[in-house]
Amino acid sequence: MIVITFPDGKTRDYTAGVTGYEIADSIAKSLAKAAIAVKINGELSDLSLPITESSTIAIVKREDPEGLELIRHDAAHIMAEAVQKLFPGTQVTIGPTVENGFYYDFFRNQPFTTEDFEAIEAEMRRIVERGDAFVREVWTREKAIEVFKAKGENFKVELIQDLPGTEDIKIYRQGDWFDLCRGPHMANTKQIGTAFKLMKVAGAYWRGDSNRQMLTRIYATAWRTQEELDAHLHQLEEAEKRDHRKLGREMNLFHLQEEAHGSVFWHPKGYEIWVALEAYMRRRLREDGYKEVKTPQLMDSRFWEASGHWGKYRENMFVVPDVVPNTNEGEKVFKEEPKHFMALKPMNCPAHVQIFKQGIKSYRDLPLRLAEFGCCHRNEAHGALHGLMRVRQFTQDDAHIFCREDQILSESIKFCELTKAIYQDFGFNNYVVKLETRPEKRIGSDELWDKAENGLKEAIDKLGMNYEISPGDGAFYGPKLAFIVKDAIGREWGCATLQLDFNLPDRLDASYTGEDGQKHRPVMLHRAVLGSIERFIGILIENFAGKFPMWLAPVQCVVASITSDADDYARKVHAQLKEKGIRAELDLRNEKINLKVREHSLQKVPALYVVGAREETDQTVAIRRLGSDGQSIVKLSEAVESLANEAKPPY
């Protein structure tokens, strides 16, 4: 006999070997019917597996949080079956669950298109309806390899061969179809339900390796009920509406075009946001002890060789021949074969080291914090470009802190606190912190990397911050702390970063004189809070859905007249706002007030001051705030004052 403990603490005795299903059945027929899996000592398992030892178990139902995971995982299996039935010769690879759904990667000479979706979904519904049990089998490695080889499933064979020799080979079968799978699965295909939808096809490399085969990935979403599915689809539609590329065009903030692809044309309104943001950051940095600098855009390749960029980063750089071009029509751009090259800077760090190296630095000069709104160019892969989020020319709110080793901790903490304060000013709370460690392609010794990684770890531990470790994702010169923010469509972008670097000062021979009169290497902290101003504005647009807080709004107030009789008064109101430094516009068009309200609302202007004959007589304005459908009548002087107050930046 074994003792089974339930979530409520009650216990019952069962014969060893009892299954989760039998336990559920012994409690209530309805529970057995609703059961889709069982949690044994916190671990999810099949209902059909015998339980041999006393344990704590919970019966898992579709409604439980684990239910979704199971629905999606099972749905991946039936999608694979459906695809193989409809498209014979297609090889299956892997099909994990992801946020909101799952995908399955297939290998087929002719990739799928979205036109195939309807047929695949219909076949999936048939499989659900069929209601076959998911049957778990354990095979020997040899049998598994043999069977999959015979089926021509070369990718599965590779997977099995790479499984550790100690591991059992588990197979899950639904009807005639089966797949290599760790499990667990629900009892039968019927439990999946039909609240799923195929979403998109995409290419994906086998095992994430760009040197290997390109597979076709089908993404799908799956939920418990049609209502949940509909809600999710609706949410996607809503998210699309706040896409910064769409809002950027609609609000006339910026544009991109072919001839400068990957570089942004900032329109007057977009650049107002930039200027406000930069001014805010400048105040923040000055207050935190940074000195602002500006460094060259183009530097000789010798310089980049010394920094290590030429060797480890050149494929991301724009290299320019240092030759006078030929202007004779029809001839080559360069008469001679270029021998000397320059490069647009992809990073600001080496240049900041040059400033550090001017003159002699004493330990008393440290920490030296050099900040730059540095415009960098990176030759990004074409497929990587994405609106403002991923561009080829961008401006970092960059800074490099040169300090002694004993100052690393306090400087790291200072930076994390600054970042936190700034993110709070923008209302960001949902960022994730990652510690990214040494990559394969790197400079410097392992001892230095140990030191650097431990340094960052110590700082975040001390601050008690939650973080994940991302192995191998560091920069080539040092490990990083990355602050990851999600965009409207759920994509993750790195914004703030703190990188600890013992390498560059060494390579570029930066030193200071210590208390002991000896030369020492400073440590360099690379850091940015916004990351790239372009990306950060993109994130802001999506975060606020274009409805910027007053201090960032490109147009803070529009003064609109109701009829031309009130034009003079409107001009007066507008002038008073401008006087206070408010970004105000005047709308005297011979249009109905309805139209004016509509247009400025669509432009997401936060404050609309409407004036007509009544307001002129009373020296008031009718204030209509974005998002409200009413208005309030306020004395002109008060209206100007309160707006000026509200428009003050948070710092």
Residues forming beta bridges with residue 362, ordered by sequence position:
513
Is 396 assigned a catalytic role?
yes
Residue 279, both tokens: 């001014």
DSSP of 411-456: HHHHHHHHHHHHHHHTT----EEEEE---SS--S-HHHHHHHHHHH
**Residues 551 and 526 sit within 8 Å (Cβ to Cβ):** no
Binding to RNA, residues 219-258 (CB under 7 A)? 243, 245, 249, 256, 258
Residues with Cβ within 8 Å of 132's Cβ and at least 6 positions away in sequence, in order, are: 174, 175, 188, 189
Whichever of 29 and 598 has its CB closer to RNA, that residue is: 598
Q: Is 520 a catalytic residue?
A: no
Beta bridge partners of 344: 298
| Smallest distance, RNA to C-beta of residue 284, A | 18
Of the pair 52, 235, the CB lying nearest RNA is at: 235
State which of residues 40, 160, 281, 391 lies at the interface with RNA (CB under 7 A). 391
Angstrom distance (rounded) from CA 616 to CA 452: 66
Nearest to 342 by CA among 314, 370, 362: 314
Whether residue 314 lies in the annotated active site: no
- Does residue number 631 form part of the binding site for RNA (CB under 7 A)? yes
Q: Smallest distance, Å, CB 101 to RNA?
A: 12
| C-beta of residue 534 within 8 angstroms of C-beta of residue 264 | yes
Residue 613 as a binder of RNA (CB under 7 A): the answer is yes
| Long-range contacts at 583-587 (CB < 8 A, ≥ 24 apart) | 583/272, 583/553, 583/554, 583/555, 583/556, 583/557, 583/647, 584/555, 584/556, 584/557, 584/558, 584/559, 585/555, 585/557, 585/558, 585/559, 586/558, 586/559, 587/558, 587/559, 587/560, 587/561
Catalytic residue among 242, 377, 400, 535: 400
Q: Show contacts with RNA in window 10-69 (CB under 7 A).
A: none
Per-residue x/- mask for RNA, residues 431 to 450, rule CB under 7 A? Answer: --------x-----------
Binder to RNA among 608, 636, 640, 643 (CB under 7 A)? 608
Nearest distance from residue 372's CB to RNA, in Å? 14
Q: How far apart are CA 441 and CA 454, in angstroms?
A: 20
Helix, strand, coil % over all residues of the chain, rounded to 5: 40, 30, 35
Q: In this chain, which of 71, 195, 622, 647 binds RNA, going by CB under 7 A?
A: 622
Which of the 8 DSSP states describes residue 213?
P
The answer for residues whose C-beta is within 8 angstroms of residue 589's C-beta and 6 or more apart is 596
- β-pairing, 2-5 vs 55-61, is parallel
Residues 275-334 contacting RNA, CB under 7 A:
316
**Binding-site size, RNA (CB under 7 A):** 81
Q: CB of 412: closest distance to RNA in angstroms?
A: 17
CB of 535 to RNA, least distance (A): 5
∠ CA 335-259-275 to the nearest 5 degrees? 115
The encoded tokens of residue 596 equal 């004016």
Q: Which of 46, 398, 487, 501 is catalytic?
A: 398
* DSSP character at residue 592: -
Using CB under 7 A as the binding rule, the residues of this chain from 518 to 577 that contact RNA are: 528, 531-532, 534-535, 562-565
From 12, 149, 241, 261, residue interacting with RNA (rule: CB under 7 A): 261
Give the nearest distance from C-beta 495 to RNA in angstroms: 5
**Interaction with RNA in 86-125: which residues (CB under 7 A)?**
111, 113-114
Smallest gap from residue 214 Cβ to RNA (A): 4
325 touches 335 (CB < 8 A): no
Chain residues 484-513 in contact with RNA, contact rule CB under 7 A: 489, 491, 493-495, 497
Considering only 20, 270, 387, 505, the residue that binds RNA (CB under 7 A) is 387
Which one is catalytic: 361, 369, 378, 438?
Answer: 378
Active site residue 425: no
Reference 231, options 201, 197, 192; nearest CA is 197
Least Å distance, CB 205 to RNA, is 4
Which range in 185-193, 226-234, 420-428, 604-612 contacts RNA by CB under 7 A? 604-612
Closest CB to RNA among residues 214, 333: 214
Residue showing tokens 């304005």 = 621
Nearest CB to RNA, comparing residues 463 and 588: 588
Check 91, 174, 396, 556 and give the catalytic one.
Answer: 396
When the beta carbons of 85 and 386 are compared against RNA, the nearer one is 386
Q: DSSP state, 326?
A: P
> Which helix (H) or strand (E) segment is 626 a member of?
none
Q: Is 629 in the site for RNA (CB under 7 A)?
A: yes
Q: How many helices (H) and strands (E) does the chain have?
A: 20, 36
Stretch that binds RNA, among 129-137, 186-194, 288-296, 614-622 (CB under 7 A): 614-622
Which residues, other chains included, contact 496 with Cβ-Cβ below 8 Å and sequence gap of 6+? 419, 423, 431, 482, 483, 527, 528, 529, 530, 531
Strand positions, DSSP E, 73-154: 91-92, 97-98, 101-107, 134-139
In the bound state with RNA, the residue whose beta carbon lies nearer, of 182 and 592, is 592
Q: Please give the full DSSP string across 44-68, using - where no structure is assigned.
A: EE-TTSEE-S-EEEEEEETTSHHHH
Which residue in 480, 596, 600, 604 is the catalytic one? 480
Q: Is residue 557 annotated as part of the catalytic site, yes or no?
A: no
The SS3 of residue 122 is: helix
Options 181, 191, 284, 349, the catalytic residue:
349
Q: Which is nearer to RNA, 145 or 484 (CB)?
A: 484
**Which one of residues 41, 450, 602, 635 is an interface residue with RNA (CB under 7 A)?**
602
HEC assignment per residue over 348-364: CHHHHHHHHHCCCEEHH
User: Smallest distance from the beta carbon of 347 to RNA, in angstroms?
Assistant: 9
Q: Which is nearer to RNA, 413 or 545 (CB)?
A: 545
Q: Which of 293, 355, 385, 644: binder of RNA (CB under 7 A)?
A: 385
Touching RNA, residues 181-210 (CB under 7 A): 200-205, 208-210
* Choice between 149 and 625, CB closer to RNA: 625
Window of 353-361, 449-457, 473-481, 640-648 that interacts with RNA by CB under 7 A = 473-481
Choose one: 320-328, 361-369, 455-463, 605-613; the region binding RNA (CB under 7 A).
Answer: 605-613
Our finding on whether 590 is near RNA (CB under 7 A) is yes
Site string for RNA, 352-381 (x = CB under 7 A): --------------------------x-xx
Cβ atoms of 604 and 556 within 8 Å: the answer is no
Q: Give the catalytic positions in this structure.
A: 349, 378, 396, 398, 400, 480, 526
